[in-house]
Amino acid sequence: MTHQSLLVALLMTSSTAFADSVVLKSFFDPTAGPNFYEVNFPPELGGGTVFMPIVGGSFELETNAEEKTAKLLNWHQEITPIEIFGKSTGDITVTLHQAQEATGTFNPSDNQFEVTGTFLITFDDSELREFGFASPIALEGTEKGSIYGAGSIGTVRMFLEGGGSVAGSPFTYTCRTSAKFEYKLDDLHAQPGDVNHDRNIDLSDGIAILGGLFLGSSMACPNAAEVNSDTLLDLSDAIFLLNFLFQGGSALPSAPVPCPAQD
């Protein structure tokens, strides 16, 4: 997916919490983590489970740290066509039901939110209407998520679950989504974990820590290597970062750190 520049006012009030009230716009991105729906149909609808990969889209989330509230302002997901009863849905979109508010809670201490709302799944029903699949279908659901990171890189990881009804029969679904957001960060700062200062956090940053510790290699931003918040730069930082990247470990610190000027 091609990412657009993100225009979002994110003001940091502490190392772990966002400003009192902000609107965060993020883009669904398969490279950020899981992005799919899992829909479970009852026997009268053929039974079985259908997986629906999310390939694009974005959402806007408003959080208020002082009031500890969260609200979804917009939601748009793009899903590849699937087949139901041998018939294609064509391109699928999931949007927020704008006539109903999607509100909930926000915990600024760990940047976690929970929002309940109604979503609409829209598709080409010309081949599926005879089976009772008429577009759009309303989905009731509760979104639980966590906001990670700061600086020029950030990730929102969410779990959505709920249900709906089609052809008079109820169904349930879950959705695991991952999205990326960005905002401006000057060249003399980096997000913790971005050791090679390339505006991304990946395996190469773990390698950069190990190279600096054991091979004498230079690190573009040494301050970004101290990720486990014990004030020491050692092997445990590389392990902490790799655990975060590949094992779902604890989130990295969120406050940007200073980096030396590059020649």
Q: What is the mean pLDDT of each run of 10 residues along the chain (263 residues)?
A: 27 37 84 88 82 94 92 95 90 94 92 95 94 92 84 79 90 92 75 89 94 95 95 96 87 82 69
Q: So what's the pLDDT on residue 251?
A: 79
Beta-strand pair 83-84/137-148: unpaired
**Considering the domain boundaries, does residue 5 fall inside one?**
no
**Considering the domain boundaries, does residue 66 fall inside one?**
yes
Ramachandran sector of residue 231 (left: φ over 0; alpha: ψ -120 to 50; beta: rest): left
**Considering the domain boundaries, does residue 252 fall inside one?**
yes
Q: Give the pair of three-digit tokens for residue 15.
A: 């190392």
CATH number for the domain spanning 174: value is 2.40.128
Which alpha helices (H) appear in the chain, and where do they start and end?
203-214, 235-247
Same domain, yes or no, for 193 and 132? no
Got the DSSP string for 137-187? EEEEEEEEEEEE--TT-EEEEEEEEEEEEETTEEEEEEEEEEEEE-----T
Domain span at 204:
189-258
Q: So what's the pLDDT on residue 248?
A: 76
To the question of pTM greater than 0.85 for the whole model, the response is no
Over the range 116-126, which residues count as b (16 or more CB within 10 Å of their CB) and which as e?
A: bbbbbbbbebe
**Considering the domain boundaries, does residue 13 fall inside one?**
no
Cβ atoms of 92 and 79 within 8 Å: the answer is yes
Q: So what's the pLDDT on residue 13?
A: 27
Q: So what's the pLDDT on residue 191?
A: 85
Q: Give the pair of three-digit tokens for residue 225.
A: 């290597």
Same domain, yes or no, for 137 and 160? yes
Same domain, yes or no, for 104 and 219? no
Dihedral of CA 148/76/102/136: which sign?
negative
Rounded-to-integer distance, Cα 228 and Cα 26, Å: 26
Same domain, yes or no, for 154 and 213? no
Same domain, yes or no, for 196 and 253? yes
Return all residues near 218 (Cβ < 8 A) that are at least 6 apart: 212
Same domain, yes or no, for 175 and 202? no
Same domain, yes or no, for 167 and 215? no
